[in-house]
Amino acid sequence: MRTLYHPETEQIELQHVFYALSEPIRFTIVLQLMDASELSCGGFELALPKSTLSHHFKVLRESGVIRTRLEGTQRFISLRTMDLESRFPGLLKVIRESAAGNVAHEA
Amino acid sequence: MRTLYHPETEQIELQHVFYALSEPIRFTIVLQLMDASELSCGGFELALPKSTLSHHFKVLRESGVIRTRLEGTQRFISLRTMDLESRFPGLLKVIRESAAGNVAHEA
DNA sequence: TCAATAGTTCGAGTGTATTCGAACTATTGA
DNA sequence: TCAATAGTTCGAATACACTCGAACTATTGA
């Protein structure tokens, strides 16, 4: 695991992003990243085995949704906000508003 | 098949919509509906067995993406444009622009 | 009533996803 | 150098999804 595959911005495909986000755990991961900018793998509020999380991070990374930065023994994960916004303008807003709407009705 | 299940607008979930759209055939179906407003099951440009198409129409319908209207021996399918737009403002635009961008670079 | 038409359901085969423990790799700090 | 830490990979079990032929249902029109 020396090189972590990340697709180029232009290579990110909407169907792959949709696939990645259709899974509840991965959707939760993305929502948490929207509030946190950057988190280590262990920094998420998810009580799941490391191997399970690792699998989901890989799917999100390979679909272009997140970026993984290596630092020491940790991997710092962030949403590819700029890349996603330039590739699919408005998509993140849709996700953000959908999540907000499901929690509470904000004016 | 007397009653066809369609979720109410408020019941449509983004994750289910993403799941439905993550499959290539279903994505194609949605793109064709964007250009056609309403099509019978056999009216799509898809050379696939009826049973396969029927499966995908069901997934799209139950996730709230399409509406199926019964008329005689035919079922007319349409995109739930208004419902999707009110539930997830901007989502259809993202899909439309993504599809346009993959075909040609329009100015 | 009966054939034709349009689409659904069933069932089986095949493939792909998810889950998680165990073993592994890589880096840090002492 | 060595233990501790952080996360990945492997492998197996289980579950879910896709495909498609065959049989079925429902409606129309003659």
CA distance B13 to chain A (A): 9
Say what the pLDDT of residue A2 is: 62
CA B3 to C1' C3 (Å) is 26
> Are the beta carbons of A92 and A21 closer than 8 angstroms?
no
Say what the pLDDT of residue B102 is: 64
B26 CB burial (10 A radius; 0-12, 13-18, 19+) = buried
**What is the total residue count of chain A?**
107
Residues B92, B85: Cα–Cα separation, whole Å = 7
Distances (CA, A) of B45 to A15, B25, B30, B61: 20, 11, 12, 19
- pLDDT (tens digit per residue) in A39-63: 999 999 999 999 999 999 999 999 9
Decide: CB of A23 under 7 A of nucleic strand C: yes
> Are the beta carbons of A17 and A65 closer than 8 angstroms?
yes
Say what the pLDDT of residue B104 is: 46
Indicate the average pLDDT of chain A.
Answer: 93
Residue nearest to nucleotide C4 (CA to C1'): B73
Look at residue A25 and tell me whether its pLDDT is greater than 90.
yes
Say what the pLDDT of residue A37 is: 87
- Residues in chain A with CB shorter than 8 Å from the CB of B93 are 90
Distances (CA, A) of A80 to A34, A83, A94: 10, 5, 15
Residues A29, A80: Cα–Cα separation, whole Å = 13
Q: How many CB pairs under 8 A join A and B?
A: 52
Decide: CB of B52 under 7 A of nucleic strand D: yes
Region A23-37: mean pLDDT is: 96
Look at residue A90 and tell me whether its pLDDT is greater than 80.
yes
Angle at A54 between CA A52 and CA A58, to 5 degrees: 120
Q: Do B93 and A90 touch (CB under 8 A)?
A: yes
- pLDDT (tens digit per residue) in B36-80: 989 999 999 999 999 999 999 999 999 999 999 999 999 999 999
Region A7-13: mean pLDDT is: 97
Query: Side-chain half-sphere of A84: how many Cα atoms within 13 Å?
Result: 24
Nearest Cα residue in chain A from B11 = A102
Nearest DNA or RNA nucleotide to B19 (CA to C1'): D17
